Amino acid sequence: MNLVWFRNDLRIDDNPALNQAITSAQPFHALFISTPAQWQAHDMAPIKIDLIERHVNLISQQLAKHGIQFIHIEASDFVDQAQKLMAYCQQHNIDTVFANQEVEFNEQQRDQTLLESGLSLTLFESDVIVSKGSVLNGQNEMYKVFTPFKKAWASTLMSTHATPLTPTFAQQASIKNPQITFNATKQNSTKWPLADTVLEQVLPRFLTHKYQDYHQDRDYPAIKGTSGLSPYLAIGAISAKRVFAELSHHYPNALEMISQPEGSWLNELAWRDFYRHLLHHFPKLNKHHNFNDKYDSLSWPNPPELLKAWQQAKTGYPIVDAAMRQLVQTGWMHNRLRMIVASFLTKHCLVDWRLGEQFFMQHLIDGDLAANNGGWQWAAGTGCDAQPYFRIFNPITQSEKYDPDGSFIRKYLPELENVPLKYLHFPHEYIKQNNIDVYWPAIVDHPTARQQALSFYKA
């Protein structure tokens, strides 16, 4: 008897570990071991835990149709998880455990401990489009800047043709697997459909109707111009290779257009691979280290009142406050807004990027260590980026440019619904002139904060 251990790969389609179990011609069970204490230690958002639970049940139902038993075991943390896996394998005479690799440090340590304990654990790569370690520069090293990585990544992809796996199950009578419930704090995620619906309906609709306008619409939070795939990629419910294959089916020349505006969406898939490749090559990123060592000497002031105001959407900058409300209320934030609020926290408030990274993980349905760390270090100027520290977003001009009619701000800040558009993006003068108490004061002055940030980084 073999065992497929599902982890951050919650799908049947393009699952190398599952595919190997099917082709091995031996009977197998499937297993998921929940770890609520570990999730809490890693700041996993309750809405993401709920999404995981729903997809674990989806897999269980899908496998049951093929007569495959799906078992759920509850553990506390990774140590307990490893012990319970070993015990299960001994009790059920498991010959081999098939699983897909996880790039994060604690997960890698757990797997190494299991291998050293004598468990027959066979691991596969399933989380990227182009294999980690295969995109290197002329010195045989990982690229430290995205654009040259992207070019080499696209070139590699043109020659390797990443083809997703489609499982072919043996004929077996269907069974009934029990409903699975996690003993953890959860937040309802049902506004996000299950991955099978996304693959059958949402992704084809996006590729047919929105993909070609993505480069024009992607920066406007009031427009539903993005694909909405990030939560499913974050938990492995949809394979990045499958997404690329669907894109290539609709647009056979997509790779050739990656450096053009029309290639903006594929560019985002390349960014996702880039951050996971970085985590693979630079394990220190798992431990909240700056990518660029020269910023290790930064002594962040971390004023608690500014951090609290940012977390509570009380900064006095409407685009920042609306974005933070979107995050807390929905578990998601538009990508342009993630850049604006991250820049504001690190550059205007001089708060350590790690505190922002943590808050995002605690709320995001698509929380992913590689992408979250990469995005925050990009915003803080401490990461692998061709732009140095002096990129400081002006939240007022960003608001005017990307929410020109104010519809996003008014949606999440109904306090400002009667403020004329002319004043909406920074309404304090209008509020003072009209003696109305509808909004809170700005916690920093933009020009002053910008100069303070420049002085802070230069020092």
Q: Point out the catalytic residue in the list 74, 246, 268, 400.
A: 268
Catalytic status, residue 39: no
Catalytic residue among 5, 153, 332, 353: 353
**238, 240, 242, 244: CA torsion to nearest 10:** 140
Reported pTM: 0.97
Looking at residue 96, what is its pLDDT?
A: 98
pLDDT the model gives residue 172 = 87
**Token digits for 110?**
């757990």
| Residue at token pair 């420049």 | 454
CA atoms of 102 and 100, how far apart (whole Å): 7
Neighbour count for residue 252 (Cβ, 10 Å):
9
Cβ-contact 35, 182 below 8 angstroms = no
Question: 5, 192, 265, 271: which is the annotated catalytic residue?
Answer: 271
Q: Which residue has the tokens 């933070």?
A: 324
Residue count of the chain, please give it: 459
Amino acid letter for position 239: S
Structure tokens that stand for 413 in this block? 């800040």
**What is d(CA 105, CA 202) in angstroms, rounded to the nearest whole number?**
33
Catalytic option among 310, 332, 376, 378: 376
Q: Is 335 an active-site residue?
A: yes
**Alpha carbons 76 and 74: distance in angstroms, whole number:** 7
What's residue 323's pLDDT? 98
Supply the pLDDT for residue 387. Answer: 63
Q: Quick one: which H or E segment has residue 32?
A: strand 28-34
Rounded Cα–Cα distance for residues 246 and 196 (Å): 14
Alpha-carbon span 7 to 346, nearest angstrom: 33
Q: Are 164 and 245 in contact (CB under 8 A)?
A: yes
Is 45:364 a contact under the CB 8 Å cutoff?
Answer: yes
Whether 113 contacts 85, CB under 8 Å: no
Per the DSSP assignment, residues forming a β-bridge with 3 are 29, 97
- Residue 123 has what DSSP assignment? E
Q: Which three-class secondary structure state does DSSP give residue 245?
A: helix
pLDDT under 70: residue ranges of the chain: 386-389
Concerning whether 8 is annotated as a catalytic residue, the answer is no
Q: What pLDDT is recorded for position 386?
A: 57
CB 385 within 8 A of CB 202: no
- So what's the pLDDT on residue 171? 82
Q: What is the pLDDT of residue 127?
A: 98
Tally of CB atoms within 10 A around 293: 10
How far is 55 from 49, CA to CA, in rounded Å? Answer: 10
Task: State the DSSP code for 310.
Answer: H
Distance CA 348, CA 320 (A): 12
Domains of the chain, each with CATH number or no CATH: 2-124 (3.40.50.620), 136-162+196-281 (1.25.40.80), 293-458 (1.10.579.10)
Q: Are 377 and 389 in contact (CB under 8 A)?
A: no
Phi-psi label, residue 236: left if phi above 0, alpha if psi -120 to 50, beta otherwise: left
Under 8 Å between Cβ of 78 and 47: no
Q: Is 342 exposed, middle or buried (0-12, 13-18, 19+ CB in 10 A)?
A: buried
* Tokens standing for residue 382: 């401490």
pLDDT at 160: 86
Q: Is 376 a catalytic residue?
A: yes
SS3 227: coil
What is the CA angle 19-372-188, rounded to 5? Answer: 75
Active-site pick, 106, 335, 394, 415: 335
